Chain A
Amino acid sequence: MRLFVSEGAPGSLPVLAAAGRAQGGEELLISTVGPEECVVPFLTQPKVPVLQLDSGNYLFSTSAICRYFFLLSGWEQDDLTNQWLEWEATELQPALSAALYYLVVQGKKGEDVLSPVRRALTHIDHSLSRRSCPFLAGETESVADIVLWGALYPLLQDPAYLPEELGALHSWFQTLSSQEPCQRAAEMVLKQQGVLALRPYLQKQPHPSSFEGRAVSNEPEEEELATLSEEEIAMAVTAWEKGLGSLPPLRPQQNPVLPVAGERNVLITSALPYVNNVPHLGNIIGCVLSADVFARYSRLRQWNTLYLCGTDEYGTATETKAMEEGLTPQEICDKYHAIHASIYRWFNISFDIFGRTTTPQQTKITQDIFQRLLTRGFVFQDTVEQLRCEHCARFLADRFVEGVCPFCGYEEARGDQCDKCGKLINAIELKKPQCKVCRSCPVVKSSQHLFLDLPKLEKRLEEWLGKTLPGSEWTPNARFIIRSWLRDGLKPRCITRDLKWGTPVPLEGFEDKVFYVWFDATIGYVSITANYTDQWERWWKNPEQVNLYQFMAKDNVPFHGLVFPCSALGAEDNYTLVNHLIATEYLNYEDGKFSKSRGVGVFGDMAQDTGIPADIWRFYLLYIRPEGQDSAFSWTDMLLKNNSELLNNLGNFINRAGMFVSKFFGGCVPEMVLTSDDRRLLAHVTLELQHYHELLEKVRIREALRSILTISRNGNQYIQVNEPWKRIKGSEADRQRAGTVTGLAVNIAALLSVMLQPYMPTVSATIQAQLQLPAPACSILLKNFLCTLPAGHQIGTVSPLFQKLENDQIESLRQRFGGGQLEESLELKAKAPAGPAVVEATAAAGPQQIQVLMDEVTKQGNIVRELKAQKADKNQVAAEVAKLLDLKKQLALAEGKPLETPKGKKKK
């Protein structure tokens, strides 16, 4: 036998590994040929590796060569190996050659490389974890493992391309990579140069264009059905037969909800949205909606659940907003709190409490924690160099300063954080600082401030993390962020600010200062609970009995995972600390960024004006939940997912199941006589249901939604294969079969309605009303699939659940909210009407006119300040502020500066 290989040809890897692993005594000659040499006489295109057999025959397919080596060593072919090898050739190879081409030839990195193969990698991972076997085709290594390992090795040997969350893939890959034949093959082919060793070969290959249309990241992973043991099937059938009888009694509704000893008490918080802004879809999926799914799931499990949230109202952002709108901070808070509450109500968020942070309880609890920290020596005073605007005669809090970011050079960095690079900034480090109010340049002055001594608390924090993290559901990004903060070492953090709108500092000499929001915002959860019940300490000072889940976007991790735990640990008051910190990545909007501070994207209050029901929004946002990686909202994708997954898959199945009962059996669930096929289906549904539970217990919300769709897909297939609509017209036996299939299908529909409840509560309730599902079955989800609609059960009127979304409808929405080059078009829109005017004004306005306007602005500014100092009537101040803003606008026009509309200036 003679094996022809070529420098850097990826196919050599599996072939050499298979030869080392399985090839017997026969002699194998290896010849190296050029990448363009035609070894096989009958093939037009060059192809390596190639095995020339002693008979003169050629094997030119990589997996056929591997297969041959294994066959020589006595291995017998089987279905599962065949299936993996066919999948490798038809699915994995096109994806992988695209990824390798991008990486090696085009020098792309990161997601560009990973995205074509991500789906395939997930498929392998799921198959491995589902079968819980160490190898692809079972307990022992087979040719499938070698072929797939060899194909994947060049990419996955770089840990950057082996996603952390794919645990099963990880360990499979490590096991194979550590084997001797594989190691030797890897050395021979990659020559310790990593993936770049493939360059000489891949460069000569055509661009893998045929792959392009296939890379769709939001596509569902098609699940293959797992192997079931007879035992599993028998257990599923037993559970099914017990039916409604196995449901425990419903927990009575409590008010207020309080922890109960001996029960699982789940406290859920969602990051408190800033009051000064309307939340956009990214905010909604990032915390409130994700937490809502988990809270609803937790209640379905009959866990004692309290879900709370509220508006975060203190801080500079509110003061700034108040100035913009000419209202007092309190008025701003009242106005926006109501807006927030109504948006979440529309999205059907099931808060037990939706409170706010501007309450006496907040002051009381914050000051108490502060006093305890102070007496225990965890707070110290220090002088801070701070920016002071002489013109406005005050120290400038972070958000009243803007300037150039010292790290990335972004021009509109805020005093505390840069929106572009995300780094935290000390305001005095800003280049070219500007007072946000008067635009003059502030000077550095010193001021007394209080600091939380985090370095002193670091050891306690590490101890606590050491106990908390293992076995918890902290998301990988949260662990990573905390780890990197600890690696850099904690630094003291200033917890006071020169503001009025905040929790007062109870210390002499600090009467003009308030607590920094980052110290007291997280205490908001506690005070909101205290406003809900005077027994709040049973939740918040009860770490033994309470399981605390906190949901947020990843930028909030340091305050929940570090700052608050440090404060609480230092206060030594037995506070309940976060057990599971669930952080999402970011959601982008179409091609651009979904940015709150720029006012770009769909906002919560606009979602209701689209005519698309809240449940559809919930479904799509949860379907693309940025879990593990950033994701993007896309109008087209939303249409696609609605029409394919909801309409054609889920809606179609549930509706057909119900319609068969009404049409063929007069609305009465027929007798079910289970065959072995049906029992198998029962067991498959049970398995998928258990998978759903496993995922939701780990708060993998997006993945658990896939389980629902998988069951419904299986259900559709079941109906399709058994054709009850034909059998109903057949013999007695056929009619009985139609009855069984219909009965089982409608019970699957009932199960789906409960599983769907955390995701689409309204649709869930509609299905349950249509099927007349008995009350306890609606509110409890067990780990087994039960017959909840027994023979003889009368269902209600069945009607379709979902509407088709039309292209033109979605297109007009896209135009309304912008898409594609969104930021540009927004800027154009903002400028267009004022465009010509700006030009004229600029042309007409001479330096004199500008000077006049500047003087007027200064004069008007003084009037406003005087009025405020005299604590004049609110309305009078507002009127003068409006005049001031108008003058500033004129001035900006005259200077030819871009207009700073309040909308464009919205800040977090």
Chain B
Amino acid sequence: MAGDIGGSEPSLPANAGDPCCPAPAPARSSCRKMAAAAELRLLEKSLGLSKGNKYSAQGERQIPVLQTNNGPSLTGLTTIAAHLVKQANKGYLLGSTAEEKAVVQQWLEYRVTRVDGHSSKDDVHTLLKDLNSYLEDKVYLTGYNFTLADILLYYGLHRFVVDLTVQEKEKYLNVSRWFCHIQHYPGIRQHLTSVVFIKNRLYANSH
């Protein structure tokens, strides 16, 4: 029956909020995309922000919306993430020079359009191949400075990287090195599975 707060209406969206049985925690299966709100909470914590921001999701792609206390609401994962960084007074995570700032935003866009928008396994491999080639001479996405782009790309790629075989990890060696580095960065990984990378190369011919 419609809107019965006590009932368990199967068609109610997860966020419709039945007070008697609150919405289940977002699934953390490795193959599914993390809910944006969950990801933003991870980010909040890694930035050392106290809880208190409220998120909702909009539309069929479940785009996150942040209802701020002193201004209009903000929509979109990277928009909210950049806002949180400033809220935490860690503006340096958005880059210091004009070039760095543009590069950070470019990879944030890449995250929401390419990483989240992938449709097939081939796409994922193209993506990893490109990234691997890009990271060949870089420690972080901007080169030498850790930024928000590293954090969100790490969160976004996590579900793909956990499923990689040892051989694939070796094939995307630069991605693996970067990924391993970020997951050990203090406060970033939190409850996410730690992905194991083998230090010695096993497949000498594959790369």
**Nearest CB on A from B23, distance (A):** 8
Whether the pair A801, B2 counts as a contact (CB closer than 8 A) is yes
B78 contact set on A, CB distance < 8 A: 82, 86
Return the chain B residue nearest A75 by Cβ: B98
A67 in contact (CB, < 8 A):
yes
Interface residues of A in 31-90 (CB under 8 A from B): 41-45, 53, 55, 57, 59-61, 63-65, 67-68, 71-72, 77, 79-80, 82-83, 85-87, 89-90
Complex CA gap A723/B2 in Å reads 20
Complex CA gap A677/B54 in Å reads 12
Q: What per-residue 1/0 map shows which CB atoms of B95-109 lie under 8 Å from chain A?
A: 000110111011001
Interface residues of A in 225-239 (CB under 8 A from B): 225-228
A803 in contact (CB, < 8 A):
yes
A721 in contact (CB, < 8 A):
yes
A225 contact set on B, CB distance < 8 A: 67, 72-73
With known contacts A68-B99, A79-B79, A63–B2 Cβ distance under 8 A: no
**Nearest CB on A from B171, distance (A):** 15
With known contacts A42-B133, A656-B19, A724-B19, A717–B67 Cβ distance under 8 A: yes
Whether the pair A86, B106 counts as a contact (CB closer than 8 A) is no
Q: What per-residue 1/0 map shows which CB atoms of B164-194 lie under 8 Å from chain A?
A: 0000000000000000000000000000000
Whether the pair B99, A800 counts as a contact (CB closer than 8 A) is no
B4 contact set on A, CB distance < 8 A: 655, 800
Whether the pair B75, A83 counts as a contact (CB closer than 8 A) is yes
Whether the pair A77, B1 counts as a contact (CB closer than 8 A) is no
Whether the pair A71, B130 counts as a contact (CB closer than 8 A) is no
A82 contact set on B, CB distance < 8 A: 76, 78-79, 82-83, 105
A-side interface residues, number (CB < 8 Å)? 66
Whether the pair B103, A59 counts as a contact (CB closer than 8 A) is yes
Q: What per-residue 1/0 map shows which CB atoms of B43-86 lie under 8 Å from chain A?
A: 00000000000101011010101010101111111110011000
A716 in contact (CB, < 8 A):
yes
Complex CA gap A199/B83 in Å reads 39
A815 in contact (CB, < 8 A):
no
Q: What per-residue 1/0 map shows which CB atoms of A786-814 lie under 8 Å from chain B?
A: 00000000000000111110000000000
Whether the pair B3, A79 counts as a contact (CB closer than 8 A) is no
With known contacts A79-B83, A86-B76, A224-B75, A655–B5 Cβ distance under 8 A: yes
B83 contact set on A, CB distance < 8 A: 79, 82
With known contacts A655-B2, A655-B3, A71–B101 Cβ distance under 8 A: yes
B82 contact set on A, CB distance < 8 A: 77, 79, 82
Among the 9-residue stretches A471-479, A520-528, A640-648, the one with 4 or more Cβ atoms under 8 Å from chain B is A640-648
Whether the pair A652, B12 counts as a contact (CB closer than 8 A) is yes
Q: What per-residue 1/0 map shows which CB atoms of B101-145 lie under 8 Å from chain A?
A: 111011001101100010100000010011001101000000100
Q: Which of B17, B76, B94, B119 contacts A719 (CB 8 A)?
A: B17
Interface residues of A in 749-803 (CB under 8 A from B): 800-803
B24 in contact (CB, < 8 A):
no
Q: Which of B11, B67, B109, B119 contacts A643 (CB 8 A)?
A: B11
Kindly name the residue among A86, A676, A720, A802 whose own CB sees the greatest number of chain B CB atoms within 10 A.
Answer: A86
A85 contact set on B, CB distance < 8 A: 105, 109
With known contacts A45-B126, A68-B99, A643-B11, A61–B2 Cβ distance under 8 A: no
For chain B, give the interface size range. Answer: 35 or more
Whether the pair A87, B103 counts as a contact (CB closer than 8 A) is no
A508 in contact (CB, < 8 A):
no
Return the chain A residue nearest B19 by Cβ: A725
B31 in contact (CB, < 8 A):
no
Whether the pair A656, B2 counts as a contact (CB closer than 8 A) is no
Complex CA gap A80/B148 in Å reads 18
Return the chain A residue nearest B20 by Cβ: A725
With known contacts A68-B99, A86-B78, A800–B17 Cβ distance under 8 A: no
A659 in contact (CB, < 8 A):
yes
Q: Which of B56, B63, B67, B109 contacts A64 (CB 8 A)?
A: B109
Whether the pair A652, B16 counts as a contact (CB closer than 8 A) is yes
A540 in contact (CB, < 8 A):
no
A721 contact set on B, CB distance < 8 A: 54, 56, 67
Return the chain B residue nearest A68 by Cβ: B102
Q: What per-residue 1/0 map shows which CB atoms of B5-49 lie under 8 Å from chain A?
A: 110010111011101101000000000000000000000000000
A77 contact set on B, CB distance < 8 A: 82, 94, 101, 105
A653 in contact (CB, < 8 A):
yes
With known contacts A71-B102, A224-B75, A647-B11, A44–B2 Cβ distance under 8 A: no
Kindly name the residue among B2, B5, B65, B83 whose own CB sees the greatest number of chain A CB atoms within 10 A.
Answer: B2
B71 contact set on A, CB distance < 8 A: 79, 227
**Nearest CB on A from B32, distance (A):** 19
B136 contact set on A, CB distance < 8 A: 42
Return the chain A residue nearest B63 by Cβ: A90
With known contacts A87-B76, A90-B112, A652–B2 Cβ distance under 8 A: yes
**Nearest CB on A from B122, distance (A):** 11
Interface residues of A in 800-843 (CB under 8 A from B): 800-804
* Chief secondary structure at chain B's binding surface: mixed
B76 contact set on A, CB distance < 8 A: 82-83, 86-87, 90
Complex CA gap A803/B76 in Å reads 34
Whether the pair A53, B56 counts as a contact (CB closer than 8 A) is no
How many A-B residue contacts, CB cutoff 8 Å?
A: 168
With known contacts A86-B78, A222-B58, A676–B1 Cβ distance under 8 A: no
B103 contact set on A, CB distance < 8 A: 57, 59, 64
Return the chain A residue nearest B112 by Cβ: A90
Return the chain A residue nearest B59 by Cβ: A222
A45 contact set on B, CB distance < 8 A: 126
A892 contact set on B, CB distance < 8 A: none
A286 in contact (CB, < 8 A):
no
With known contacts A44-B130, A79-B79, A659-B5, A57–B67 Cβ distance under 8 A: no
A42 contact set on B, CB distance < 8 A: 130, 133-134, 136
With known contacts A57-B103, A90-B113, A648–B16 Cβ distance under 8 A: yes
Whether the pair B17, A86 counts as a contact (CB closer than 8 A) is no
Complex CA gap A59/B61 in Å reads 27
Complex CA gap A401/B65 in Å reads 62
A442 in contact (CB, < 8 A):
no
Return the chain A residue nearest B53 by Cβ: A721
Complex CA gap A652/B103 in Å reads 44
Whether the pair A802, B2 counts as a contact (CB closer than 8 A) is yes
Whether the pair B72, A224 counts as a contact (CB closer than 8 A) is yes
A59 contact set on B, CB distance < 8 A: 102-103, 106
Whether the pair B56, A717 counts as a contact (CB closer than 8 A) is yes
A210 contact set on B, CB distance < 8 A: 117, 119
A651 in contact (CB, < 8 A):
yes
Complex CA gap A317/B46 in Å reads 76
A71 contact set on B, CB distance < 8 A: 98, 101-102
Whether the pair A72, B106 counts as a contact (CB closer than 8 A) is no
**Partner-B contacts on A (CB < 8 A):** 41-45, 53, 55, 57, 59-61, 63-65, 67-68, 71-72, 77, 79-80, 82-83, 85-87, 89-90, 93, 210, 222, 224-228, 643, 646-648, 651-656, 659-660, 663, 676-677, 680, 716-717, 719-721, 723-726, 800-804
Given A55-B99, A67-B102, A724-B19, 16 new contacts (CB under 8 A) = A42-B133, A57-B99, A68-B98, A72-B98, A79-B79, A83-B79, A85-B105, A86-B112, A210-B117, A225-B67, A643-B11, A648-B9, A651-B2, A659-B6, A800-B3, A804-B11
28 contacts between A and B (CB under 8 A): A41-B133, A44-B126, A64-B102, A65-B102, A77-B82, A79-B71, A79-B83, A82-B76, A82-B79, A82-B83, A82-B105, A83-B76, A83-B79, A86-B77, A87-B75, A89-B112, A90-B61, A90-B63, A90-B76, A224-B75, A648-B12, A654-B3, A677-B69, A721-B56, A721-B67, A723-B17, A800-B3, A801-B2
Sorted nearest first, the 3 A-B pairs with minimum C-beta distance are A725-B19, A655-B3, A802-B2
**Partner-A contacts on B (CB < 8 A):** 1-6, 9, 11-13, 15-17, 19-20, 22, 54, 56, 58-59, 61, 63, 65, 67, 69, 71-79, 82-83, 94, 98-99, 101-103, 105-106, 109-110, 112-113, 117, 119, 126, 129-130, 133-134, 136, 143
